[in-house]
Structure 1
Amino acid sequence: MLAVNGGKPVISEGTVAPWPYVTEEDREAVSNAIDKAVPWHWPMDPVTELEEAWAEFIGMPHVLAANSGTAALHMAISAAGVEPGDEVIVPSDTFLASASCVLQANAIPVFVDTDYETFNIDPAKVAEHITDRTRAIVAVDLNGLPADYAQLREIADRHGLTLIEDAAQSHGAFYQGKPAGALADMSGASLNGSKCLSALGEGGLFATWDADQHRLARRVLMFGEEIPHQGRDYNARIMGWNYRIDVLAAAFTRSQLRRLEHMSQVRQANGAALSKILSDLPGVRPPAVPDDRTHVYFFYPLLVQPEDLEIDDLPVESFRDAVEQAVKAEGLGIMRWQHQPVPAQTLFQEMRGYGRGCPWSCGHARPGHSYDPQRYPVASEICRRRLVLGQSFSSLGPPNDLQTMRAFADVFHKVLVEERDELITLARAQHARQG
């Protein structure tokens, strides 16, 4: 019997370890940072140490630690020279910050549909959205899988565009032997507590190959001032946003970074083991991993496929909700993520922006922009079918191991195979309630 109907759950409370995985070394690092922070000064040693360590880890020479991944992306957009009225290509299926960073520059996000296999931006659809206003492409390594940078690089170079990597979910992943965070001209990465590289609270990392871009990004990080390391002249050159990272967050992240390689290997092994089992189960599609890259499973995305069970009269949405309800009841954290493509969100449908319709109505943008959700059919279909494991509630990171993954798989086997009739009954009840 399914646990949702009164049966015994497969996974008992406390079986799955939460994320982030905190060690005594992490606690000691934070404690030491408290001592180093008195008297107050900037930049503090733990911040500089984190920047240097991330630069070494990804092999990119210029790094700035920020207070969020959103801030790091805004810094990248500004450093790319994006100005009011310019256009920036972004994926339609991502977190809002991948697009809102463009609005922060008074520029226009132009959305591109998704590749159904990888969940990342579809390179084959990028060129058709490029205009004489396009200045940059933001590629997102969604779920923990790098985008196809070989194709995106060719497109960016052909059109003279800056390529920016949103590596918020992919710390520790690789594409063609190169680490995430160093796959484009610049990158922005989140250190939100749930991320594969965690600040426990909030944080971000900006990285670039170019010293001038680093200087411009640092202006945004500070208050528009030039060089905080050489004494302040209190002369703002541009708008700055005080994006400085908290020193304790920096220290925690630096400690976690020492174990990132090992933690990423655990994630890859756990994800591969889970996919091997789930690929034989009807009703869900596990994530694909192309041969030229690795996946670190910040999210482990599943697409529900009721067609596999020959349920022709049951909407996908009802089946998805029933699977979510049943899996949760068995003790495994699962949820929907991004209920609709970003351009379908109210911000873009109503185009109010940050007031009076800006940036679309500010006079610099070309007229005629609109965001019809029907232009993104693949992203819409993914959002309709997607459920995710991972993040903090069902982490694929350590100390969770292959035994934990077998427990995850046991849940799906029970829900989709052993108690399939109950699941279908539950789905039909969901459909009836939804009208």
Structure 2
Amino acid sequence: MLAVDGGRPVITDDAVAPWPHITDDDRKAVLHALDRATPWHWPMDTVRELEAAWAEFTGMPYVLAANSGTAALHMAIAAAGVEPGDEVLVPADTFLASASCVLQANAVPVFVDTDLATFNVDPRLVEERITDRTRAIIAVDLNGLPADHDALRRIADRHGLALIEDAAQAHGATYHGRPVGSLGTMSGASLNGSKCLSALGEGGLFATRDAEEFRLARRVLMFGEELPGQGRDYNARIMGWNYRIDVLAAAFARSQLTRLPAMSRARRENGAALTAALDGIPGIRPPVVPEGLTHVYFFYPLLVQPEELGLDDVPVAAFRDALERAVNAEGLGIMRWQPRPVPAQTLFQERRGYGRGCPWSCGHARPGHTYTPEEYPVAEEICRRRLVLGQSFSSLGPPNDTRTMQLFADVFHKVLVEERDGLVALARSGPHGAP
């Protein structure tokens, strides 16, 4: 019997460890940073150490630690010279920050549909969205899998565009041997507590190979100031923000970074083991990993496919919601993520922006921008069918191992094979959520 109907759950007690995995070394690092935090000064030595370590890990010589991945992306947009009325190409299926960072420059996001196999932006559709206003492409490494950076780089170079890597979900993944964070003209990464590289609280990392881009990004980080030498001249050159990272968050992230290769290896092994264990279980499509790429499974995305079970009379949304309820009841955390493409969110449907319709109505933008969800059919279909494991609640990171992944697979086998009739009855009983 399904647990949702009163049966015994497959996973009980503390069988699945939460993320991030905190060690004594992490605790010592934070306490050491606390001891070094006075007298207060900026930049803190701990922050410099994190920046230097990320520079070494990625091979990007110029790094700035920020207080969020969103801030790091805004810094990249500014460093790319994006100005009011300019356009930036963004995947239709991503987190809002990949697009809102463009709005922060009073520029206009232009969305591109998704590749169904990888969940990343479809390079074949990029060029048709380029106009004479386009200044950059944001390439998101979604779920933990790098985007098709070689194809995107060729397009960017052909049109003289910056290629900004949004590496928020994929620290430790590689693209043909090259680390995430080094694959674009510049990159922004999140250190949010749930991420593969975690600051426990909030944090971000901006990286570039170009000294001038570094200088421009640092202005945005620090009140628009130039920061000559080691001091401050308290003279804002542009509109800047306070995007400085907290020193304790930086210390935690620096400590975690020492273990990132091992943690990434465990994630790859766990993801491969889970995919193998799910082989032959109908009704779901596990993620795929193209040759030459590695996946670190910040999310392990599944597409529900009731058609495989002959359930043509059951709406996809009803089946998806029933599966979510049943799997959670069995003790395995699963959820919907991004129930609609970003251009379908209210911000873009109503285009109020940050007031009076800006940036779309501010006079610099090309007129006629609209966001029609139907223009992104693959992203819509993914959002309709997607459920995800991972993040903090069903982590594929250590100390969870391949035995934990077998438990995950046992849940799906019970729900979709052994107790399928109960799942179908649950799906048919309704009500279900948004399509």
Q: What TM-score, normalized by structure 2, do the two folds share?
A: 0.99
> Who is 2:67 aligned against?
67
Distance 1:412 1:228, change over 3 A: farther
> Who is 1:6 aligned against?
6
Give distance in 2, aligned partners of 1:432 and 1:188: 37
Cα displacement (A) at 1:233 = 1.1
Counterpart contact for 2:321–2:432, Cα < 8 Å: no
Distance 1:158 1:290, change over 3 A: same
> Who is 2:85 aligned against?
85
Deviations 1:141-161 (A, max 9, x none): 000000000100000000000
Distance 1:118 1:434, change over 3 A: closer
Aligned residues: 435
> Who is 1:284 aligned against?
284
Give the letter aligned to residue 164 of structure 1: I
Pairing 1:341–2:348 present: no
Deviations 1:302-360 (A, max 9, x none): 00000110011010000000000000000000000000000000000000000000000
Counterpart contact for 2:10–2:411, Cα < 8 Å: yes
SS for the counterpart of 2:151 is: helix
Unaligned runs of 5+ in 1: none
Unaligned runs of 5+ in 2: none
> Who is 1:256 aligned against?
256
> Who is 2:378 aligned against?
378
Distance 1:228 1:406, change over 3 A: farther
> Who is 2:366 aligned against?
366
Give distance in 1, aligned partners of 2:433 and 2:402: 38
Give distance in 2, aligned partners of 1:230 and 1:398: 39
> Who is 2:213 aligned against?
213
Distance 1:76 1:7, change over 3 A: same
> Who is 1:30 aligned against?
30
Counterpart contact for 1:315–1:431, Cα < 8 Å: no
Counterpart contact for 1:145–1:294, Cα < 8 Å: yes
> Who is 1:131 aligned against?
131
Give distance in 1, aligned partners of 2:347 and 2:279: 37
SS for the counterpart of 1:230 is: coil
Distance 1:350 1:44, change over 3 A: same
Give the letter aligned to residue 171 of structure 1: H
> Who is 1:425 aligned against?
425
Superposition map of 1:283-432 within 5 A: 283-431=283-431
> Who is 2:224 aligned against?
224
Superposition map of 1:45-124 within 5 A: 45-124=45-124
SS for the counterpart of 2:73 is: helix
SS for the counterpart of 2:361 is: coil
Cα displacement (A) at 1:230 = 2.5
Give the letter aligned to residue 36 of structure 2: K
Deviations 1:355-388 (A, max 9, x none): 0000000000010000000000000000000000
SS for the counterpart of 2:199 is: coil
Give distance in 1, aligned partners of 2:123 and 2:37: 46
Give distance in 2, aligned partners of 1:54 and 1:21: 20
Give distance in 2, aligned partners of 1:431 and 1:240: 48
Give distance in 2, aligned partners of 1:82 and 1:292: 32
Cα displacement (A) at 1:278 = 1.2
Deviations 1:264-322 (A, max 9, x none): 00000000000012131100000010012000000000000001100110100000000
Give distance in 1, aligned partners of 2:230 and 2:398: 41
Deviations 1:383-426 (A, max 9, x none): 00000000000000000001100000000000000000110000
Give the letter aligned to residue 204 of structure 1: G
SS for the counterpart of 2:430 is: helix
Cα displacement (A) at 1:433 = 9.3
Counterpart contact for 1:286–1:301, Cα < 8 Å: yes
Give distance in 2, aligned partners of 1:429 and 1:58: 51
Pairing 1:15–2:15 present: yes
Give the letter aligned to residue 330 of structure 2: E
Give the letter aligned to residue 252 of structure 2: F
Distance 1:129 1:177, change over 3 A: same
Give distance in 1, aligned partners of 2:160 and 2:434: 49
Give the letter aligned to residue 422 of structure 1: G
Q: What TM-score, normalized by structure 1, do the two folds share?
A: 0.99
